[in-house]
Structure 1
Amino acid sequence: MDKVDLKRTIATYRAPRGRFEVVDVATATYLAVDGHGDPNTSADFTGAVAALYPVAYRTKFASKRDLGRDYVVPPLEGLWWADDMASFTSRRDKARWHWTLLLVLPDWIDEALVDAALQQVGAGDRPERLDDVRLETLSEGRCVQTLHVGPFDEEAEVLERMHADIAERGLRMTGRHHEIYLSDRRRTAPERQRTILRQPVRPA
């Protein structure tokens, strides 16, 4: 049985380093959990991750067993925003951040399979935030994105240049800042972490 790796088969899971690329992102369905606060210290953030992955793996195993279709659980993603976006870009006041953590699902996964996975996870060592896991369909469309290599706290300069590039192209930002974490932060030194930074846009 072939195992599908979505980060290899979906073209927009690749981005150039050092320049900003305009892409069209296809509509996709995700497992999602919302939260607020500093991801380095927030119990909500830790709990969201701890709830998402068991559901993702149960769904993957069911797909392989019941549908004969196997896939690699994809990288973690996040939507990020703040009531005052300066607290996200320049001041980096993480306590004021809102976020939605995401894991994309293959297009053959349906709601029934996810519901069954949720029930199975809940029957065991139940994650504290399991009831907050939901399906979310995201239609971002036209986006500007780049690859950032390095610590998360060094993203601010890249984001400022991205926002300037967007304006120079005659576009304006819409939707929420989107990050795709290609590296496992538990096993990767901060200076080698690879993160796609994505911003939905539309004509100004």
Structure 2
Amino acid sequence: MAAVMHILSYLKSTPGRGLLFKQNGHLDLEGYTNADYAGNITDRRSTSGYFTFVGGNLVTWRSKKQNVVSRSFAKSEYRGIAQGVCEILWLRWLLAEIDFRPNAATKLHCDNQSAFEIANNPVQHDQTKHVKVDRHFIKEKLEHKLISIPFVPSSEQLANMLTYVVSKRRFEDSLDKLAITDIYAPT
């Protein structure tokens, strides 16, 4: 109930907040994905989150508790990458339906070096057997150049706010980067 009251308090104090869509001169599709590790204190399941952008504008976002308990931070992040890849594939399909086909691999930014290396290393590792399905799924999309997974430092990872508690300053900075603005704010 305390969490609900906190959310309601935030919504009440920000009635003018909303997404601002701008023409940014490109229609690139890109995403940011992140996951915590064993963040839920009752069942130790991790939470994954992602943001996706088309033309620099935020179009989808999600935060979801993972279905299984991860035994390492890298595996938790890797499952988060798999969820982000699914969202990107859905968006690519949706854009193709309106005759827009991205001409380059979609970037899905990741801030975990181990998950980044697993995704971009063509050799199957024995330590990742329990994420083998995700590994083959992601590997196939990388090979077909539908996605690329560049490393992004944690300080530039937008999806952190979906999986971690962040400071008020970092939260406000992230809202600016997501183009979530307050129409009542003085200019």
Q: The TM-score by the shorter chain falls in which range?
A: under 0.3
In terms of fraction of residues, the more helix-rich structure is 2
In terms of fraction of residues, the more strand-rich structure is 1
* TM-score (normalised: structure 1): 0.24
